[in-house]
Amino acid sequence: MSIYSLLDRHILIPIGDRIKGRDLHGAYAETLGTEWLSEDELLQLQNGKLQKLVRHCYENVPYYRRVFEERNLTPADIQTRADLVKLPVLTKQLIREHYDELISKDASGRKYLEGSTGGSTGTPMRYLDDVQTWNKLRGLAFRGWLWAGFHVGEKMFTLAGNSLVKKNAGAKKMLMKGMFDRFIMRNEKHDCTDITPEALDSYYHALMKRRPAAIRGYASSLYFLARHIEQNYLPVCSVKAVFTTGEKLHPAYRRKIQQVFRAPVFDAYGAADGGISAHECYMHEGLHIGEEHCIVEIVDGNGRLLPDGEVGHVVSTDLNNYVFPFLRYQVGDLAYIKKEPCSCGRKHRLLGEVIGREGRAIYNKQGRPYSSIVIDNMMFKDMDFHTLECQRLYEKMDRFQIRQDKEGDLSILIKPVDPDEPLATFDYVRENFQAHFPGSKVEILFVDEIPPLPSGKEDYCVSEYTPCE
């Protein structure tokens, strides 16, 4: 560990905490202390925190008081995470409708931040983020970075959109945030919305000047940067790790990023709304859920618990937000929990693939959902990029996007690497989709560009089709 990291952890972070009334130092130490808890100890910790939170909700939050009374429940009925199914799922729609009722009566005596979810995930939603949730999510991130050998206080370079690179706060807030990023996080952030060759070149030069210990950002942004570096035969500085977050990490993206930066990729998943966070460890078998701070359930469309291994809606209970409590909050992503524990020995359950925003999953007319992995299989025949055939196909396709209209018909937009590539090269894509989408029209279209969303995130799948349940 560098001297700056030691100074950061034991002096700068505590000073920042004093100024801002936060407890990053304590949260970091706490997550390190619970890293190796046994399964029973983790459950005991979770259940204790859950019981306290439920009592608080019943006594102080009008929305939950009503929900409990309508179901003839009292806090004594919710003792363990298995009891949570007695409560309904909290959707973004319900939050919009009952915003005022969800604020705790004692919120004015607590410290919180105003939060909102962006337009890339549907209609924006407002909520309040308890400063304790803010602290703990960062504590978990620091621990996740440590699994990659990166200590907070070492230099970081970030390339991401508006969820990680804030631009719109007031001058004083931006100054404080700038100081925090510069001296405590030592994180140089770049907005990735622009991915033209000129912009990629400027990110590259900034990266080389920065010479960070780790790179962080949206999977697609880092993939485009890696590809730019490779195509232009540019040298790269050595880094310990690359951290991806904010969107689905396609296996092809992981492979390219690792190959170009010559460093392992560690994926992470999280959302401040719902206080959920999961990080990949050095075994790369899945993403460890930060179970000290949130309870994650995977449920079907009716809020019923699904067994491990089955894909469903991610529902999170934030154990630290007492200002605007999230009990069984439907985050808006599809994922599954792995049946097997991680071979690193940590008992925090693993999220398998996070399939991504629900809006991006596509369904055929028979109601079968298709995850991104299956879509990748259909686009590239199989996901084994070590096969020459697969690599050749991949090198012919610059980018793609699948669009499904209200009728369930599919347009697959492909930007070919070679503008003279015959359309017939991708006949197999149409055949694959046609076989899985009986009754839907499937067409392949060549396009010059697929623009990213205003958030800077890439949407490989846009669907307006509502599946029959």
Interface with Zn ion (CB under 5 A)? 281, 283, 342, 344, 346
State the nearest-atom distance from the C-beta of 284 to Zn ion, in Å: 8
Q: Which is nearer to Zn ion, 239 or 281 (CB)?
A: 281
**What count of Cα atoms within 13 Å lies in the side-chain half-sphere of residue 15?**
11
Burial of 453 (0-12, 13-18, 19+ CB in 10 A): middle
Cα 8 from Cα 2, distance rounded (Å): 10
Q: Which is nearer to Zn ion, 293 or 346 (CB)?
A: 346
Q: Which residues pair with 400 in a beta bridge?
A: 414
Q: How far apart are CA 356 and CA 334, in angstroms?
A: 6
Residue 344 vs 390, nearer CB to Zn ion: 344
CB nearer to Zn ion: pick between 237 and 344: 344
Given the complex with Zn ion, which of 189 and 346 has the nearer CB atom?
Answer: 346
Closest distance of CB 276 from Zn ion, Å? 18
- Choose between 192 and 287: whose C-beta lies nearer to Zn ion: 287
Tokens representing 188 are 């140089």
State the nearest-atom distance from the C-beta of 143 to Zn ion, in Å. 12
The residue among 41 and 443 lying less far from Zn ion, judged by its C-beta, is 41
User: Shortest Cβ distance from residue 343 to Zn ion (Å)?
Assistant: 7
* Helix ranges (DSSP H) in 71-111: 92-97
Task: Please say whether the beta carbons of 89 and 328 come within 8 A.
Answer: yes
Question: Residue 110 class from Cβ within 10 Å (0-12 exposed, 13-18 middle, 19+ buried)?
Answer: middle
Instruction: Return the number of the residue (144 or 212) whose C-beta is nearest Zn ion.
Output: 144
Contact 213, 1 (CB under 8 A): no
Cβ neighbours, 10 Å, residue 197: 11
User: Judged by CB, which is closer to Zn ion: 248, or 346?
Assistant: 346
- Least distance CB 292 / Zn ion (angstroms): 15
Taking the complex as a whole, the smallest distance from the CB of residue 346 to Zn ion amounts, in Å, to: 5
Strands 214-218 and 156-160: parallel
Query: From residue 402, how far is each of 88, 133, 440, 465 by CA, in Å?
Result: 33, 36, 13, 12
What are residue 113's DSSP bridge partners? 129
- Name the minimum Å distance from CB 319 to Zn ion: 21
Rounded least distance, CB 88 to Zn ion, Å:
33
Nearest approach, Cβ of 39 to Zn ion (angstroms)? 14
Q: Side chain identity at 67, as an amino acid letter? A: V
Contact 224, 200 (CB under 8 A): yes
Q: Shortest gap between Cβ of 30 and Zn ion (angstroms)?
A: 19
Determine phi and psi for 53, rounding to 5 degrees.
-65, -40
CA atoms within 13 A on the CB side of 81: 22
Q: Are the C-beta atoms of 330 and 92 separated by less than 8 Å?
A: yes
**92/346 with CB nearer Zn ion:** 346
Element housing 242 (H / E): strand 241-245
Residues 6+ apart with CB under 8 A from 170: none
The least distance separating Zn ion from the CB of residue 308, rounded to whole angstroms, comes to 16
Of 115, 120, 73, residue with least CA distance to 324: 115
Strand partners, 448: none
Give 36 or 446: the residue with its C-beta nearer to Zn ion. Answer: 36
